[in-house]
Amino acid sequence: MIENLKKLKVGKVIDNPKMSNYTTYKVGGNAIAIVYPTSVNNLVKLLKYLNTNHIKYKILGNGSNLIFKDDLYNGVLIKLDKFDKLEINDTIITVGAGYNLIKLSLKTARLGLSGLEFASGIPGTVGGAIYMNAGAYKSDMGYVVSEIKVLTPNYHVKTLYNKDLDFHYRSSFLQKNPNYICLEAKIVLKHSNSKEIMEIIADRKQRRLLTQPLEYPSAGSVFRNPANDFAGRLIEELGYKGKNIGGAYVSEKHANFIINKGNASASDVRNLINEIKEKVKEKYDIDLIVEQEFVD
């Protein structure tokens, strides 16, 4: 299969990659390959090959919300890093799905464009952030994305508008329809004072450093906050701060973060998440929803 992928000449192919090198938890086994298509046509060519041969695949952004297994992911991962064009026309940003979200947030802030301040600490790609409707500080991608270009399951490029994208708390149309692949987004921002925007970003960074365990590999908040409550509060009340399974620990700084202290396995992380979910259900009768995605 690796030879066939290389013969397609659609972009760089990495065989037998370790998923610990491609996820922010730094855990997981290997995959068959990662492919970096260089254009929409090459992406279509790759997908047709994979679908014709019934080969499993997944789009991989920065791996900041994914937990692979410890054994083989028996499929091909597709990274859209080459889909990184950026055009700024007054307050309208046209950006490729593979563009780094933090980089975009800082770049627009320096230009005096407001609206992406919330994203300055979210280590994902633009496409991944839209897929998850990533957010913070009472804002998310749904507030700023006006439209996206997607590749449909029939290999057509189509525009979906904000109203089509069904943005809700950490949810979107793309999550429910993973065969639609985000290629590019149009983001609408507002003019503001760049110094003030950068001050907001700096202040929030300082707060994150004080309240979040950024010194360890993690994938950010593990659970969505239930209505009118905080997942971290419930987990802390259970006495789970510092609780561990193997090398995976509930952070002492923030109970809704699970961290890898250096030798965690994917199973450690998954088992700790599942245990917390069960204990919260048992004690509070609340079904916590996992923000992160288990990839099998």
Residues annotated as catalytic are 170, 221, 291
Structure-block tokens of residue 25: 């938890």
Q: Which two tokens stand for residue 229?
A: 């409550």
Q: Dihedral angle at the C-alpha atoms of 273, 21, 134, 163, nearest 10 degrees?
A: -120
- For 19-58, the DSSP string reads GGGSSTT----BEEEEEEE-SHHHHHHHHHHHHHTT-EEE
For strand 92-96 and strand 86-89, is the pairing parallel, antiparallel, or unpaired? antiparallel
Asked if 251 and 25 touch (Cβ cutoff 8 Å), the reply is no
Chain centre distance of CA 185: 15
Whole-number Cα distances in Å, 166 to 66, 132, 162: 22, 11, 7
Q: Environment class of residue 250 by beta-carbon count within 10 Å: exposed (0-12), middle (13-18) or buried (19+)?
A: buried
